[in-house]
Amino acid sequence: MKKRKLDLAIISDVHLGTYGSHAVELYNYLNSIKPKILVLNGDIIDIWQFRKSYFPKAHLKVIKKIIDLASKGTKVYYITGNHDELLRKFSDSFMGNFCVVDKLVLDLDGNKAWIFHGDVFDASVQHSKWIAKLGGLGYDYLILFNRFVNWILKKLGKEPYSFSRKIKASVKKAVKHISDFENTATELAIEKGYQYVICGHIHEPKIIRKENKNGTILYLNSGDWVENLTALEYKKKRWKLYRYEDFTEKEEDLFEMDNLINQQLVASIIYKK
């Protein structure tokens, strides 16, 4: 398969090591591109919810693919997030083409891009970490159940349904949280004189022009690989929001649902014991 050449690719919120992570699809995506720079914008490995009983080969293949890209000349920046915050003790470490950082500023054709995960703006993460961890565990099981429901819907010839998106859209507090996050990030970036501000964390893929009385900026969010399966791509001075569902070479039934559900439930039972 011919690989698409990119100046920059950004992914975030992969949550490897959890039931909800779409590692197979992410591997397919990484195998389809040849970026000069790859930014992993936080929550790539979910250390918060890491289980010894659950780390499938597909998840390990993603890690190996990232290492392979770095070995073949791609500059890889791993920006730490809240779910992989233990890696912050290794911030500013450089190993060949692979670096671990807490934030990143890139010069893209004369425009400065400020890139960071975004958990610094989340009060629940900063001040009530145990609540955030509990919420993350509940979200993981919700995604697992949602995947089972969508497998049934697919067999019935119906459109998939997202429980978490429905919740986010219907709960005013959740909608306000997303809006506040975007406004805080853009206002601070405008104040610092950046042209792009790029985040992850809230699992809401987006490219939107924001402005206030002090100026204007392009806000970008890379989304996630749990629900949205999205990435940000930059090539020839243009940004694109990549969605895996639009990928023309997507295989049918990338997950063998019967086996997947059984394996995940067994792993869950073992973990609880």
| pLDDT tens column, 176-221 | 667 788 999 999 999 999 999 999 999 999 999 999 999 999 999 9
User: Of 131 and 54, which is predicted with more confidence?
Assistant: 54
**Quick one: tokens of 197?**
């501000």
What the block records as the tokens of 222 is 């890379």
Residue 29's pLDDT is what? 97
Give the helix/strand (H/E) hosting 165.
helix 163-170
So where are the chain's domains? 4-272
Q: What is the pLDDT of residue 148?
A: 65
Q: Under CATH, which number does the domain 4-272 receive?
A: 3.60.21.10
- Helices 163-170 and 172-192 meet at what angle, rounded to 10? 80
Q: For residues 62 and 16, is the Cβ–Cβ distance under 8 A?
A: yes
Who has greater pLDDT, 240 or 246?
A: 240
pLDDT at position 220: 98
Position 34 pLDDT exceeds 90? yes
